[in-house]
Amino acid sequence: QSVLTQPPSASGAPGQSVTISCSGSSSNIGTNTVNWYQQLPGTAPKLLISGNDQRASGVPGRFSGSKSGTSASLAISGLHSEDEADYFCGTWDDSLSVFYVFGTGTKVTVL
Amino acid sequence: QLVQSGAEVKKPGASVTVSCKASGYTFTSFGINWVRQAPGQGLEWMGWMSANNGNINYAQKFLDRVTMTTDTSTATAFMELRSLRSDDTAVYYCVRGSSFDSWGQGTRVTVSP
């Protein structure tokens, strides 16, 4: 039921960079700002990035977000082992059936 | 901080109510979203309720089965899901506000005969 598409997986060695894409449409990403959430294994998701590119309190500077048109991206520069987690994008949707939509999720593996 | 009620096991057709007690902020200044995650799956938004004026938006998928309420005297939000099915087995989260900036620890609901 996710209307935002993400790659199922991404990986990199410690110190390398990874970028995760989030593809939507004019009714969601094209109109509204995007959040990114990190979910460590066995825990609740936590807000990572809000308003397309604003790091939440306490989030390291190696995480950055951007948006262009109907797509958004999350970049992690200089991977740490503790970054191994699931990452979800999310945004409001202007359709009538659902008001907030999440991405399909991307599992980041640190090799 | 949002602290949720404990795990539940229900039979198909039953109802479940999950509570979410807020602390550390003015409860009526933010709405509460409810989000669920089925085992091994992604996140699904169920709805949102204002803790200030009672405005509610439900995802169309849950319109006929869900009720969200708040008790401002105890700073607690509630989500009731009725006519439970096996595919309602999931972890249910309450989440603060339009920025989704604070998440409860989750409540596991298992629906099994």
The pLDDT of residue A2 is 72
Nearest by CB to A99, from B44, B57, B103: name it: B57
Question: Nearest CA to A75 among A5, A27, A10, A8?
Answer: A10
The pLDDT of residue A74 is 98
| Total residues belonging to chain A | 111
Any B CB within 8 A of A90 CB: yes
Any B CB within 8 A of A40 CB: no
Inter-chain residue contact B45 with A101, CB threshold 8 Å: yes
Any B CB within 8 A of A46 CB: yes
Inter-chain residue contact B61 with A103, CB threshold 8 Å: no
The pLDDT of residue A96 is 67
Q: In sequence order, what are the residues at sequence separation of 6 or more whose Cβ sits closer than 8 angstroms to the Cβ of residue A28? A: A3, A4, A70, A91, A92, A93, A94, A95, A101
State mean pLDDT over B58-79.
95
The pLDDT of residue A1 is 58
The pLDDT of residue A3 is 83
Model confidence band, residue B72 (pLDDT cutoffs 50, 70, 90): very high
The pLDDT of residue A97 is 73
User: Could you tell me the CA-to-CA distances from B76 to A79, A83, B1, B35, B51 in Å, in that order?
Assistant: 38, 33, 11, 16, 9
d(CA B31, CA B50): 4
Inter-chain residue contact B43 with A37, CB threshold 8 Å: yes
- Give the minimum alpha-carbon distance from A109 to chain B in angstroms, rounded to a whole number: 16
State mean pLDDT over B38-58.
93
> Phi, psi at residue A30, to the nearest 5°?
-65, -20
Task: Count other C-beta atoms under 10 Å from residue A19's C-beta.
Answer: 14
Inter-chain residue contact A44 with B104, CB threshold 8 Å: yes
Burial state string for B18-56 with b = 16 or more CB within 10 A and e = fewer than 16: bbbbbeeeebeebbbbbbbbeeeebbbbbbbbebeeeee
Q: How many CB pairs under 8 A join A and B?
A: 57
Residues of A in contact with B106 (CB under 8 A): 44
State mean pLDDT over B33-40.
96
| Total residues belonging to chain B | 113
pLDDT in 10s for each residue of chain A, 111 residues = 578 999 999 999 999 999 999 999 999 999 999 999 999 999 999 999 999 999 999 999 999 999 999 999 999 999 999 999 999 999 999 886 778 999 999 999 999
Chain A: residue whose CA lies nearest to B94: A44
